Amino acid sequence: MYQDLKFWVSDTICAGLSPISGPLFAKTCSRFIDGFLVTTELLALACGIGFFLAIALTFARVSGRSVLVWPAQIFVYVFRGTPLLVQLWIIYFGVGSLGEQGLGPVLWTFFKNPWLVGLLVLTLNTSAYVSEIFRGGLANVEKGQMEAALSIGMPWLRAMRRIMLPQAIRIAWPAYGNELILMMKGSALISTITVMDLMGQTRTIFARNFDLNTYLYAAILYLVLAACISVFVAVMERRFRRSVGR
Amino acid sequence: MKFSVLAVGLLAGGLASAASAQDVLRIATEGAYPPFNNVTADGELVGFDVEIAEALCAAMERECEIVAQDWDGIIPGLVNDKYDAIIASMSITEERKQAIDFSAPYYSNYLSVVGADGTTATLEKLGDVSIGAQRSTTGSQWAEDTYGNRADIRLYDTNPAAFSDLSSGRVETVVADFLPAAAWVKDNEGFGFVAEKIDIADQIGIGVRKGEDALRDDLNTAIEAIRADGTYQTISIKYFGIDIF
Amino acid sequence: MEQINTVLGPLSFGQGGWGDDLLNGALLTLQLALCAMLAGLVMGLGLAGMKLSRTRMLRWPAAAYTLFMRGVPEFLILLFVFFGSDSLINAVATSLGFQGGYEVPKFMAAVAGLSIIFAAYACEIFRGAYLAVPSGQIEAGQAIGLSRSQVFFRIRFPQLWRFAIPGLGNLWMVVLKDTSLAAVIALNELLRIAKLGGETEQSPLLFFVAAGALYLMMTSLSDVVRSALERRARRGMAGA
């Protein structure tokens, strides 16, 4: 159902583009747009879930309780210290090689699916980087505000969430915008675990026609996506500024 | 300072090496396609293709150098003169013929569908289940052409990666060349051929650059020579127990 | 040694074991990262010069270049360079009347691919560092009668590095991690060796985790060096 809707969207876009596209692109358009939609969808989900996971991680890291601080610190350290491609391959090919016997039927239904594994790794990876960005933002919020909130009896978590976090996010917003673009570029790697994202489609097309223009078309589509992300970041930034002024 | 010297050295060395090596015949194989070509832990290339290449070189009385090259880049590498020939179980196809030339075939191939025992897939219904294949092979291209590019076709960088996902149950079927599939099925209990074999009139040849007719003719003569003196049959029986020509 | 090798299993050293192969892979990873970083820095300096220049003809191409490189996946650029570099060099060679047949070794293609990406990032870092030199210092230089080139070489350039070091430290970490993409173009760096080992020994988890641990060691070590350099660069800087 949903899959059909995506195919319909991509066919409609291709039909619309056909008068202006060259012969190579017209022939492979539905592949490119199918891949483009998969990339967009994974990115939106990974960044959306990763955003909240990053907040949880950041709170754990500044909570001052070693049961929370250490696991969160180690998580962030490992995910920022190793390449995304290694993380993908450890989880898809490495953990996946344990199979149903090693993982049990519930976990296996998850690890079986390359799309879900890709989403998982992208989410964990981005949450580690974003948590580092938010922590930097928190460090730049004036400490007195937290003390003031606690002194009027506000619980720690609520003070963090209501007072510190919104300011930290506002300060860290440009860095967060950069991370979104980096994530978009990193997502191309999920093509190595058989997900047919934009890069996966591109490599498959090139494998048949050996035409370097294939990569140029893909580059243009990635630039379109990057432009959309930049616009989103800028619009949000303007909204923040307005709410500060109020 | 030391590093910039290193970089300059690499640049000079890299650009010079290609042109000077005219006398040695440079042959590329994939190195990830057992039992035809694969790499051992000590970095040595072994397999049917490798031994055939060595036998052909002996028959042509030429010195050869065999290098490993990943599949996706193997035709671009030939076109750009990184090596002179591809002996890597490559099917002769119309698409490939637009980029390179081929020798006479040195064995025939058909496609087969591998799955877990009990999988009941027919060729008509294969499009409904997940199909694994190596990217840019006749297997993946047959699947794309038959079931469309929106079927659940998973493309892997190597053949063993596809089989590994089949054995863990991640994909339901793998479409691959018959002989390596047979070799894999032999070693993996619980798996077998699940649909009738697919004859795509597939013949395996040696890829050479367009216009290199002299080399192609030499290779054709050498293939006939190793067929005539029994070298070919010995190698084939060593790997497959039968003559696969 | 024997005992260590028994514990390590397929990761042991010597014949039949992959331990030494993995370390060699890690060495190639480091070489690749160093070469890419150096080439990227040189190109980045040039690009920053273009971007800061007063001529539009220089400024615009540099801006377009950095915009492009920062918006397109590294993986795509690397594959494009890998598949395209040979055709490009041969096309140039034939058009100049030389015989074709040049090859770009995988290592060079990987260095070229990675460095043209990181040049764009290095350019932004250098530009930021150039503009970070307080304008009061420049005015002071002009006031005591230094020429424009003297202001550049005596005041701006020596300080460029200290302002650029935090950014360049970050960039080095990114380069180090992105060398892993070269595994996909079959360069025998760390990740590719781990993949081959995992496929041959049928234990991909062990090999990929081992590779991950080696990457973590390399980035941790780099982090220590980076902090030391940053401390040095900050010496005597006001407000730091």
Domain spans, chain A: 37-245
Quote the pLDDT of residue C1: 54
Establish if C35 touches chain B: CB-CB under 8 angstroms. yes
Split into its structural domains, chain C has a count of: 1
Give the angle subtended at the CA of A92 by the CAs of B71 and A122, to the nearest 5°: 105
pLDDT at C3: 61
Q: Please identify which residue in the block is written with the tokens 């979104």.
A: A180
- Tell me, what's the pLDDT at C10? 79
Chain A interface includes B149 (CB < 8 A): yes
* Residues of chain B found within 8 Å of residue C17, distances taken between Cβ atoms: 41
Determine, for residues B81 and C99 on separate chains, whether the beta-carbon distance falls below 8 Å.
Answer: no
How far apart CA A211 and CA B86 sit, in angstroms, is 20
pLDDT digits (tens, 9 = 90+) for C61-103: 999 999 999 999 999 999 999 888 877 777 777 777 766 556 6
Domain extents in chain B? 21-107+204-240, 110-200
Give me the pLDDT at residue B127, please.
Answer: 78
CA distances in angstroms from B22 to B140, C95, C101, listed in the order given: 35, 21, 10
SS (H, E, C) A158-195: HHHHHHHHHHHHHHHHHHHHHHHHHHHHHHHHHHHHCC
Distance from CA of C200 to the nearest CA of B (A): 7
Average of per-residue pLDDT across A169-189: 94
Q: Which residues of C touch B4 (CB under 8 A)?
A: 38
Task: Give how far C144 is from chain A: nearest CA, Å.
Answer: 39
pLDDT value at position B17? Answer: 41
Architecture of domain B21-107+204-240: 3-Layer(aba) Sandwich (3.40)
Output the six-digit token pair for A27. Answer: 């022939």
Contacts of C87 in chain A (CB under 8 A): 212
Identify the pLDDT of residue C66.
94
DSSP string of A21-34, one letter each residue: S-HHHHHHHHHHHH
pLDDT in tens, B198-213: 888 889 999 999 999 9
Per the structure, the complete domain to which residue C178 belongs is given by: 31-187
Beta bridge partners of B29: B68
Structure tokens at A75: 């998580």
CA distance B18 to chain C (A): 6
Mean pLDDT for back-to-back runs of 10 residues, chain B (245 residues): 40 41 82 87 87 94 90 86 92 89 92 86 79 89 87 89 89 90 87 85 91 94 94 90 80
Return the amino acid letter for B239.
Y
The pLDDT of residue C99 is 62
Contacts of A192 in chain B (CB under 8 A): 157
For residues A20 and C83, which has the higher predicted lDDT (pLDDT)?
C83
Question: Mind telling me how many Å the CA of C159 is from chain A's nearest CA?
Answer: 25
Whether the CB-CB separation of B153 and C192 falls below 8 Å is answered with no
Q: Which residues in chain A are closer than 8 Å to C178, comparing Cβ atoms?
A: 83
CATH of the domain at C67: 1.10.3720.10
Give the Cα separation of B194 and C34 in Å (integer).
50
Q: Chain C within 8 Å of A188 (Cβ-Cβ)? A: yes
Q: What pLDDT is stored for residue C6 in this prediction?
A: 63
The CA distance from A18 to C153, in Å, is 55
User: Mean per-residue pLDDT for A205-234?
Assistant: 92
Q: Does B164 touch chain A (CB under 8 A)?
A: yes
At B123 the pLDDT is 78
Of C16, C34, C185, the CB nearest to B3: C34
Whole-number Cα distances in Å, C61 to B23, C19, C40, C52, C118: 44, 47, 17, 12, 16
| pLDDT tier, A97 (very low <50, low <70, confident <90, very high otherwise) | confident
User: Nearest to residue B121, comparing CAs of B176, B181, B201, B175?
Assistant: B175
In CATH terms, the superfamily for domain A37-245 is MetI-like (1.10.3720.10)
Strand partners for B107: B204
Low-confidence ranges of chain C (pLDDT < 70): 1-7, 15, 98-103, 236-240
Alpha carbon distance B75, B91 (integer Å): 12
Are C103 and B41 a contacting pair at CB < 8 A? no
**What residues of C are in contact with residue A202 (Cβ under 8 Å)?**
76
CATH code: domain B110-200 is 3.40.190.10
Top residue of B33, B70, B188 to mutate, by most chain C CBs within 10 Å, is: B70
| Residue to substitute from A36, A40, A86, interface C, most C β-carbons within 10 A | A86
- C18 in a domain, yes or no? no
Q: Residue C233's pLDDT is what? A: 80
Our CA-based measurement puts residue B125 at a distance from the nearest CA of chain C, in whole angstroms, of 31
CB-CB under 8 Å, A31 with B149 = yes
Please tell me which residue of chain B has the smallest CA distance to C84: B76
A207 touches chain B (CB under 8 A): yes
Interface test with A, best of B86, B130, B170 (most A CBs within 10 A): B170
Q: Which residue of A has its CA nearest to B161?
A: A93
Chain C positions in Cβ-Cβ contact with residue A226 (cut-off 8 Å): 70-72
Burial class of residue C164 in the structure, from the number of CB atoms within 10 Å of its CB (0-12 exposed, 13-18 middle, 19+ buried)? buried
Task: Report the distance separating Cα B88 and Cα C156, nearest Å.
Answer: 57
